[in-house]
Structure formats: structure tokens, C-alpha cells
Amino acid sequence: MRLRNKPWAKPLIAANPELIVTDPLPLKGKWQSRFSQSAPLYLEIGMGKGNFIIEQARNHPENNYLGMEVQTTVAAIVLKKLLVQPLPNLQLIVADGRLLTEFFTENEVTGIYLNFSDPWPKKKQAKRRLTYHTFLAQYRQVLVENGQIEFKTDNQGLFEFSLKSMNNFGMHFAGVWLDLHHSEENEHNVLTEYEAKFSQKGQPIYKVTANF
């Protein structure tokens, strides 16, 4: 998701430091201090307009959640939603997911969500895909033992690439769905904005859950 910068976005973020982090470096190893309780910590990298991570936090008050987004305007859109209905177990981060090991210590994150990431379809762009082996190495470092990655996409090429990348990295597949919305797993599925749009068009949604 790419949006034009909005002049109101940065001032809104600056005015609400209790809900959104713009400098995650000092919080490495200290993320639980941002929440009212210590709990398993789940991270979504590329949260879009926040429907998924907000719903997860609302449905699971026993966990803590972080929504990470590199685009300031997109993060500010999610912040607006939290200002209307704050959730004590959800914090937002404006940061680049490529720097994950600079923001989190080993074994600090319980699970990672990758929802409808940019497919970077050209072969020379493969290193930018969030399931490329260099990203998987970062996830393994920050995740707890047996911590899980949950990946969803509408892009068949990216899905096939991701399965191969995870397999070559030695990951263990807990579940693979080639048509998520026509499976029993869909009963527990939380929709993202993209997912709702693509599903309405009849596009199959692919999902994999895997751990190291």
C-alpha cells in the first residue's frame, strides 16, 4: 500500500507518542514496557490500514501486539482508529521491517504476521520479498523457540516462492492453504483490507503457517 504523504500525518503522530513509536531503537528488549501488562508479543510487518492487527488485539486481550509500517501516512491512518477506540494491548511503530534485529532482541517476539506483502514480482527484486532468506534469518533471531510466522497473500507466484524459501531455510510447516476462504481455517481468519477486496473478486487467498 502506497499513499501520498498527508500534511496532518506527522503532527498527529508527534502528538500521540503513547500510542506510536517513531524511534524503536531504544526499546530493543524493552517492548513490554509499552503495555499495561507483560504478555506474549506478536508483530505484524506492513500493517496497511490496520484492520487485521486491531481485530487481533481486540479478540485476544491476553496478548500484546505491535503493528509496524514504514509509511508515515499509512501508520497515521491506523493511529486515527486507535484514538477513537484505544486498545491497551496494541502499539504502533513507524519503521522499516528490514531492520528488525536492530529493534528486537533474541526471543522477544512470539509470532510474526506477514499479510499481503509487496510481491516484488521481478526476479531481480527477490531480495526485497519479506520471505527471502535474509528476512527469514532475522525472524528466526527475534522469535522465541517455536515462534510462528503466519503469511497470507493473493499472489500465487509470491506464495510459491515463499514456500520454497521457507523449506530451503529448514522451516517446519504447520499448515498450508491454497484457498483459505473455502477451508475450515477460515472460521478463525481475520480479514485484512486487501483480503476482503480480493476475496470479493473471487481471488483465492493463500496462507502458510511455519516455524523454525
- The burial class, CB within 10 Å (0-12 / 13-18 / 19+), for 110 is middle
Q: Which residue has the cell 531503537?
A: 25
CB 109 within 8 A of CB 41: yes
Q: What is the Rg, in whole angstroms, of the alpha carbon atoms belonging to the chain?
A: 16
Show the DSSP H helices in 8-115 as ranges: 9-14, 51-59, 72-84, 100-103
Q: Is 96 a catalytic residue?
A: no
Find the helix or strand (DSSP H, E) in which 172 lies: strand 172-177
* Catalytically annotated residue among 23, 96, 118, 154: 118
Cell numbers at 145, concatenated = 523457540
Instruction: Just list the catalytic residues.
Output: 118
